[in-house]
DNA sequence: CCCCGAGTTCAATCTAAATTGAGCTAAAAT
DNA sequence: ATTTTAGCTCAATTTAGATTGAACTCGGGG
């Protein structure tokens, strides 16, 4: 490795790497990161994960662990955990390294599947929980005095109706996602 | 008011009130509260608000501020703030008090409108923010070197495509909500 | 006019979750 | 075999946000 950077501390190398990226590239990356941070916030995904995904998404080349850490935005721990989460979700994939170097990550652009999996994980679990709660309510109802039972029965029905609507929405969304390009 | 409770401290009255509710009524309420707490958690709504709504929803009669506070689950501050939030959302409404007593609250069962408003507030804001972010990205693109621009352009397009899909989903959901009873 | 209690406000506190980084592990380099 | 380093783990810290409750406001009753 007859390379001047070998004499530098890792920190110095990182800084160099950072400065080498042109202002426009950095600016673009920042904008992408902001976009994903916003979206993550809506979906309840931790910010660090969104930042990480933004960095990978904004890079034309696959990035290594070190590359990402060199951005200086995230701690080693966050990078490690975040990459794991993203891999497990299928949001990024590792492209086999050209030579000896460590694994490189690039976004998995099958976003359709990604989003689908995400929705299903969250909603499906939620709907299952809701269903059992409604069951409990159903069972609690007969024990109430007559005067109360009537109003409450109708409210419970309302809850059930909404629950069903929500459940019906999942397949619709699924179908919808299959249409149109992307 | 030739009523024994008039001689009690407010605290004592509250406790009495609490004990008077039968076990089955309390149990029903708890189950309803749990249901809404679960749902709120998915939607990112504070737990105290969900509890509050659950209490109101589970009561066959409209409840006063004091009634709710008497449940002992929430502090005065939380009740006050929570009721305001729920009123602003249109999740509960005040029924005009029969005589001199303070205002009474009951769930506003026009859930369709409620849910619609909720979705639109969150998603609409999100989509607007996303749109401007995408604009920024679009503008940042031309400044990148040719070698990078191609890949990134296509990724950006992908982002835009998803953004459009999300936007298209809103009206679909709206239409869907109009159908079916509830 | 002053007092009392219902309800509001908001600074202080608590809570849950995210984030960090020191130390560990395992594998590559010498 | 030993050193070096990349990456993982998890206890400790930080942070963001929810919750509390003491001090206040305001309207009605005496």
More confident residue, B154 or A100: B154
The pLDDT value recorded for residue A13 is 44
Asked if A126 is an interface residue toward chain B (Cβ–Cβ < 8 A), one would say yes
Measured CA to CA, the distance from residue B38 to residue B41 in angstroms comes to 5
- Report CA(B80)–C1'(D24) in Å, whole number: 15
The DSSP symbol for B101 reads S
B95-120 pLDDT tens trace: 976 665 678 999 997 888 888 888 88
Q: A182 contacts in B (CB within 8 Å)? A: 158, 161-162, 165
Check pLDDT > 70 for residue B5: no
**Do B31 and A180 make contact, defined as CB atoms within 8 angstroms?**
no
- Identify the three-state secondary structure at position A125: helix
Of A25, A34, A172, the CB nearest to B133: A34
Confidence of residue B181 (pLDDT cuts 50, 70, 90): low
Which residue stretches of chain A have pLDDT < 70? 1-19, 97-101, 180-182
Confidence of residue B2 (pLDDT cuts 50, 70, 90): very low
* Residue of least CA–C1' distance to D7: A80
The pLDDT value recorded for residue A98 is 60
Geometric angle at alpha carbon B46, from B43 and B48, rounded to 5°: 135
B25-78 pLDDT tens trace: 999 999 999 999 999 999 999 999 999 999 999 999 999 999 999 999 999 999
Rounded to two decimals, the pTM is 0.87
Which residues of B, range 12-71, sit inside 8 Å of A by Cβ? 22, 24-25, 27-28, 31-32, 34-35, 38-39, 42, 44, 57-58, 60
Residues A27-61 as b/e (b if ≥16 CB within 10 A, e otherwise) read: bbbbbbbbbbbbbbeeeebeebbbbbbbbbbbbbe
The mean pLDDT of chain B is 86
Measured CA to CA, the distance from residue A29 to residue A73 in angstroms comes to 12
- Identify the three-state secondary structure at position A94: strand
Closest residue, chain B, to A142 (C-alpha): B24
Q: What is the mean pLDDT of residues B125-139?
A: 95
Structure tokens of A15? 């800084």
Measured CA to CA, the distance from residue A64 to residue A103 in angstroms comes to 6
Distance of CA B163 to the CA centre of its chain: 25
Q: Indicate the pairing of strand B104-107 with strand B92-95.
A: antiparallel
Asked if A166 is an interface residue toward chain B (Cβ–Cβ < 8 A), one would say no
Nucleotide nearest to B46 (CA to C1'): D18
The pLDDT value recorded for residue A71 is 95
- Report CA(B92)–C1'(C10) in Å, whole number: 25
**What is the number of other CB atoms lying within 10 angstroms of the CB of residue A162?**
18
Residue B27: CB partners within 8 Å, gap ≥ 6? A140, A143
The pLDDT value recorded for residue A113 is 85
A14-57 pLDDT tens trace: 444 555 788 989 999 999 999 999 999 999 999 999 999 999 99
Half-sphere exposure of A133 (CA within 13 A, CB side): 22
Residue B33: CB partners within 8 Å, gap ≥ 6? B50, B51, B54, B55, B58
């Amino acid at each position: 490795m007859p390379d001047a950077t070998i004499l530098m501390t890792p920190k110095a190398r990182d800084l160099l790497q950072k400065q080498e990226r042109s202002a426009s590239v950095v600016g673009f990356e920042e904008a992408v990161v902001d976009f994903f941070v916003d979206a993550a916030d809506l979906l309840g995904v931790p910010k660090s994960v969104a930042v990480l995904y933004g960095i990978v998404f904004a890079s034309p080349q696959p990035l290594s662990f070190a590359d990402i850490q060199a951005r200086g935005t995230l701690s080693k721990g966050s990078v490690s955990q975040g990459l794991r989460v993203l891999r497990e979700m299928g949001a990024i994939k590792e492209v086999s390294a050209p030579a000896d170097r460590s694994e490189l990550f690039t976004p998995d652009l099958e976003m359709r599947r990604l989003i689908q999996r995400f929705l299903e994980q969250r909603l499906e679990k939620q709907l299952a929980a809701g269903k059992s709660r409604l069951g409990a309510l159903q069972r609690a109802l007969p024990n109430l005095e007559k005067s109360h039972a009537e109003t409450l029965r109708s409210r419970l029905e309302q809850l059930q109706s909404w629950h069903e609507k929500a459940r019906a929405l999942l397949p619709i969304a699924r179908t919808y996602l299959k249409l149109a390009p992307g």
